[in-house]
Structure 1
Amino acid sequence: MNTAKTAVHFTDNYLISPTNPISVNLIGAGGTGSKVLTALMEMNHSLIELGHAGLQVRLWDDDRITSANLGRQRFAECETGLYKSVALINRANRFSGTNWKAETRKFEKDNFGQVPEEARATLTITCVDNVQARFGVAEILKEVSDRRNYRDSPKYWLDFGNSQYTGQVLLSTIGEIQQPQSEKYETVASLPFVTEEFGELLRQSEQQDGTPSCSLAEALEKQDLFINSSLTQMGCSLLWGLFRNGLTPYRGFFHNLKDFTTHPLKVA
């Protein structure tokens, strides 16, 4: 008889019963990030209707909208030339009555090697398209995790990444999250960073062409039309489960849109 307990991670209590809206840093406002912002709008409204304090989102991206972004990303032709983060946040605030913020700069240390005050958030979500940015985020999150005695204490990092037809979403804890005693489950307090667990794979993927696309047709040669949206829905469902279920037996998944397969990553 198999008596092994299922390994799960219990959500940090502050995400479930916060005194203030959960601070969220969303990094990247392109094909995935623009869609994740829409999902966060839906999540925020739903959480508030359920008596939760909701979310306070800050969107980071220093890119401006070009004609190559239209169609696959959440931008209109009249927004060409605007900062992606500003266009999306203004639209979200008008639609939802929120007071979310836009940053027209990269999520990185300043010229003096200092971490910006705004980099501190309970939840960090990355939708970046290069490996160096991920390692930079990891470095900042490790640094701010040493300073946890404030309201926006960093708890989780949710990373989205994709190639033309495939992608992955990985949930990590920033430090250890205190777990309750459980007779039913094997509780896991720490979930590894994507840069630690798959660092070598990330470096290998850096060899691929990451140059900007000059047209939508060229962009579609690099990323399928629906890979970003399919990753977004599944990845944000994982995040939603943290709020609604209070635990998760999964910490992410690998997704292949070409053969319609998804392989979950179990908490272990």
Structure 2
Amino acid sequence: MSAQALLAPQGVWFEAPERWMSDAVHLVVIGAGGNGSEVVDCLASFHHALISLGHPKGLNVTIIDDAVVREPNLVRQRFWPCDLGQYKAVALANRYNLMLGLDWTGLPYRFPGPETEKAIARADLIITAVDLPSARRGLAYYGGYFKPSCMWLDLGNGHRHGQAVFGMTGPAERLAVDHGLMHLRCARHGQRHRPAVGQFEDDDVGIRHTEMGNGAVRRCSSCCR
């Protein structure tokens, strides 16, 4: 892996609320593509494990994605030929509802929008698994209601790298706590940044790991205005 990963000790702790031990934990997954569909599959396994270990209610998951399953999605995403033409979010929710007797929800809409407000307002944890930084900014600058304790896990990957960023949803409390997040060096100004997820522009997706081999980005919104 050619990108530079600079890890620093973090003095931040997140504790699960006590009610997670007795109530259903409400999760929202935004994006049901390569990462999102894998995450939903893992959440189904995790829910089953929680119930088997005695948790009274397990997980309640809402999946948000307005895309439909196409032929290329069958290669690298959690979909099968029988899913072709269906909304990804609905296909995943129906699958695990039938398999495990759940009541998960698939919302075939784009976030943000009025159809997703209720799910976001109920969420204990929001997982974003989207392609473009603009979609992440939609959550970073979301004007609707969040639970005060709602947390945010952002997932993403390129051809040879990936990242998982965990923090809070509220702008005042948000902390970019990373598990392997890279410090990025702007190729134009040489400055190193550890940017918040919501700061990236769509052009910043081109983190030039393979082209530059030194953890640099073409342009970053922290110092390129």
* TM-score (normalised: structure 2): 0.70
Change (3 A) 1:193 1:204: farther
* TM-score (normalised: structure 1): 0.60
**Could you say which residue in structure 2 is the equivalent of 1:116?**
117
**Is 2:80 the counterpart of 1:96?**
no
- Tell me the matched-pair count: 184
User: Matched residue of 2:75: which SS?
Assistant: coil
**Could you say which residue in structure 1 is the equivalent of 2:156?**
161
Structure 1 position 50, deviation (Å): 2.3
Q: Which has the higher contact order (CA 8 A, sep 6+)?
A: 1
User: Matched residue of 2:34: which SS?
Assistant: coil
| 8 Å contact kept, 1:138–1:193 | no
Q: Which moved more, 1:97-106 or 1:44-53?
A: 44-53
| 8 Å contact kept, 2:62–2:104 | yes
Aligned residue type for 2:196? E
Residues 175-229 of structure 1, C-alpha deviations (whole Å, 9 max, x = no match): 49xxxxxxxxxxxx86338995255555542468xxxxxxxxxxxxxxxxxxxxx
**Could you say which residue in structure 1 is the equivalent of 2:223?**
none
Residues 106-139 of structure 1, C-alpha deviations (whole Å, 9 max, x = no match): 12034xxx97222221110010011111000112
Aligned residue type for 1:106? R
Once the two structures are superposed, the pairs formed by residues 167-246 of structure 1 within 5 Å of their partners are 167-175=162-170, 191-192=175-176, 197-206=196-205
Gaps of 5+ in 1: 177-188, 209-255, 257-268
Supply the distance in 2 between the matched residues of 1:123 and 1:80 (Cα, whole angstroms): 29
User: Matched residue of 2:61: which SS?
Assistant: strand
| 8 Å contact kept, 2:137–2:199 | no
Aligned residue type for 2:31? G
Structure 1 position 12, deviation (Å): 2.9
Change (3 A) 1:109 1:196: farther
**Could you say which residue in structure 2 is the equivalent of 1:214?**
none
Residues 225-260 of structure 1, C-alpha deviations (whole Å, 9 max, x = no match): xxxxxxxxxxxxxxxxxxxxxxxxxxxxxxx9xxxx
Of 24, 29, 32, the match for 1:21: 24
**Could you say which residue in structure 1 is the equivalent of 2:181?**
none
Change (3 A) 1:104 1:42: same
Residues 26-73 of structure 1, C-alpha deviations (whole Å, 9 max, x = no match): 111111111000110111111122222311000001001111111211
User: Matched residue of 2:72: which SS?
Assistant: helix
Of 37, 44, 47, the match for 2:47: 44
Structure 1 position 96, deviation (Å): 1.3
Of 132, 138, 151, the match for 1:136: 138
Structure 1 position 162, deviation (Å): 1.2
CA RMSD of aligned residues (A): 3.2
**Could you say which residue in structure 2 is the equivalent of 1:71?**
75
**Could you say which residue in structure 2 is the equivalent of 1:32?**
35
Q: Which moved more, 1:192-201 or 1:24-33?
A: 192-201
Aligned residue type for 2:95? R
Identity %: 34
**Is 2:16 the counterpart of 1:12?**
yes
Aligned residue type for 1:91? R
